[in-house]
Amino acid sequence: MTDTTSSQGSRLYLFSIVLVAVLGGLLFGYDTAVISGAEKGLQAFFLGASDYTHTDFLHGITSSSALIGCIIGSALSGIFASWLGRKRSLVMAGVFFFLSALGSYAPEFLFFEQGKPSFGLFIAFNMYRILGGIGVGLASAICPMYIAEVSPSHLRGTLVSWNQFAIIFGQLVVYFVNFMILGEHTNPVIERIASGLYSVGAESDPWTIATGWRYMFVSEAVPAGLFTILVCFVPETPRYLVLTGNHDKALHVLTRINGTEKAKAILKEIKETATQKTERLFTYGVLVIFIGIMLSVFQQIVGINAVLYFAPRIFESIGMGDPMAQTVLMGVVNILFTLLAVFTVERVGRKPLLIIGSLGMALGAFGVTFFNMIDGLPAVVAVVSIMIYSASFMFSWGPICWVLISEIFPNTIRGAAVAIAVAFQWIFNFIVSSTFLPMYNMSVGDMGEKFGHMFAYGLYGIMCIIAAIFVWRLVPETKGKTLEDMSRLWRK
């Protein structure tokens, strides 16, 4: 370490350890979005089972089963973060990602006949997806927590926002990987034979049904293995080290990041707010927990993940050319608007971005609603509306919700409070994702399935308006405040 680094801290060191943590966000995005390209082939595969009927409802469960694991992982994240520490919890998440990728590729391993769909195999596949979901749940809570706890206050919003960028980048990567894996092959044709019941069209590509979806899932093993190895080389967070009595180690990490004098001041402040390690969850009142939970709930009930998980199917129903290519384009738009949040969150603040984004999402959602209400509108109206809806989420609720959840809670309750807030996020993610297809495919009278399309996006648009009002009235602005300031803010 040079003298300059000792006196001023090393930005390179800070950025390098944040980059590793951000890879957890990339895996988060990769794992949750891989289903978008694989779900049709997976549905066609299980429609070939002879011992049970793979209904629309069961396919909705299959498409969102990882979210059950996300609920479990996020609910347990506070326990793991407190007992094992932030670093070792991330190692565990990486192992779960890796095992899930292999298991989803070959769910027949040891117990079932290769390539023969059955109800037992259906259960096994979903168990592997749940295992990966546990990894996502742990990473979703602990990655932003880790970044927030190592970052200086003036960089915290930007660095935590990079975690959301990584999530969206992971989704873009897997959209592109799925597109490349599919290549010249085509997704199977799924024909509706009755309400909630489907069959595979005779002209469907057999390779996509038997093999394509497997390659999509196993592709995650590469970034999962890399993340698991790299996270072994990052330090534990200074705030966790102080909570466990390792003050010298905490000072060493703080010095490398902030410089000698500033590190001593930060360590003193951390000690002052960490003296009572066992403060009860509601020590700072009910409101802080309620706001954290509702931030998570609103991030999901605005409906964004229904679009991300089923993007190819949605673009196909609109009538746009190659749905996989449109999905990749949407991923690029998402990346660009996430960068907007990264570079403005510390200038504009958290609340303005959330309110503007909520109103933009409402505009996009209502645009899709009107497209389905009014006959004769060109398909580009719906596509542009979906892009506005998605882009508005990406510079607001996508990154800013994670920033607020990682910084809004006082040090002594952060692990448990973040776990509760993120668990609610995944619970409502599961509710939205598992109900989207039945709601989207709902057919009424002369409108047919257009009614379901209109109803789904109309509902999401209303939720966006309510979310804007919630932020305006209840959410405090945290721009420029230290994590230790949160204790003083909520004690008032």
Q: What is the pLDDT of residue 2?
A: 42
Asked, for residue 263, whether it belongs to a domain, the answer is no
Report the range out of 60-69, 385-394, 446-455 with the highest average pLDDT: 385-394
Asked, for residue 248, whether it belongs to a domain, the answer is no
Asked, for residue 163, whether it belongs to a domain, the answer is yes
C-beta atoms surrounding 103 within 10 Å: 19
- ∠ CA(5), CA(18), CA(268), 5° rounding? 60
Asked, for residue 297, whether it belongs to a domain, the answer is yes
Give the strand pairing for 197-200 and 190-194: antiparallel
Q: What is the pLDDT of residue 82?
A: 82
Q: What is the pLDDT of residue 168?
A: 80
CATH number assigned to the domain comprising residue 431: 1.20.1250.20
- Please name the residue that has the structure tokens 């009930």: 301
Residue 225 has pLDDT above 80, yes or no: yes
Residue 330 has pLDDT above 80, yes or no: no
Asked, for residue 37, whether it belongs to a domain, the answer is yes
Q: Picking from 132-141, 350-359, 439-448, 450-459, which range would have the lowest pLDDT averaged per residue?
A: 439-448
Residue 275 has pLDDT above 80, yes or no: no
Asked, for residue 1, whether it belongs to a domain, the answer is no
What value does the mean pLDDT of the chain take? 83
Q: 245 CB contacts (<8 Å, ≥6 apart)?
A: none
Asked, for residue 164, whether it belongs to a domain, the answer is yes
Question: Taking residues 77-96, what's their average pLDDT?
Answer: 90
Question: Taking residues 298-303, what's their average pLDDT?
Answer: 90
What's the number of domains the chain is made of? 1
Read off the DSSP letter of residue 445.
Answer: G
C-beta atoms surrounding 79 within 10 Å: 13
Alpha helices, DSSP H, located in 151-194 = 153-182
Determine the angle formed by the axes of helices 323-348 and 397-407, rounding to 10 degrees. Answer: 50
Name the residue among 401, 193, 414, 208 with its Cα closest to residue 305.
401
Question: Taking residues 413-438, what's their average pLDDT?
Answer: 81
Nearest-angstrom CA–CA distance, 156 and 150: 8
216 is in which domain, residue-wise? 8-234+276-491
Question: Taking residues 423-428, what's their average pLDDT?
Answer: 86
Question: Taking residues 85-105, what's their average pLDDT?
Answer: 93
Question: Taking residues 355-359, what's their average pLDDT?
Answer: 95
Q: Picking from 41-50, 205-214, 382-391, 483-492, which range would have the lowest pLDDT averaged per residue?
A: 483-492
Higher-scoring residue by pLDDT: 339, 107 = 107
Higher-scoring residue by pLDDT: 448, 420 = 420
Please report which confidence band the pLDDT of residue 193 belongs to, taking 50, 70 and 90 as the band edges.
Answer: confident
Percent of the chain with pLDDT strictly greater than 90: 23
Q: What is the pLDDT of residue 1?
A: 40
Asked, for residue 259, whether it belongs to a domain, the answer is no
Residue 3 has pLDDT above 60, yes or no: no
Question: Taking residues 277-300, what's their average pLDDT?
Answer: 81
Question: Taking residues 231-242, what's their average pLDDT?
Answer: 90
Q: What is the pLDDT of residue 310?
A: 64
Residue 5 has pLDDT above 60, yes or no: no
Question: Taking residues 209-237, what's their average pLDDT?
Answer: 92
Residue 4 has pLDDT above 50, yes or no: no
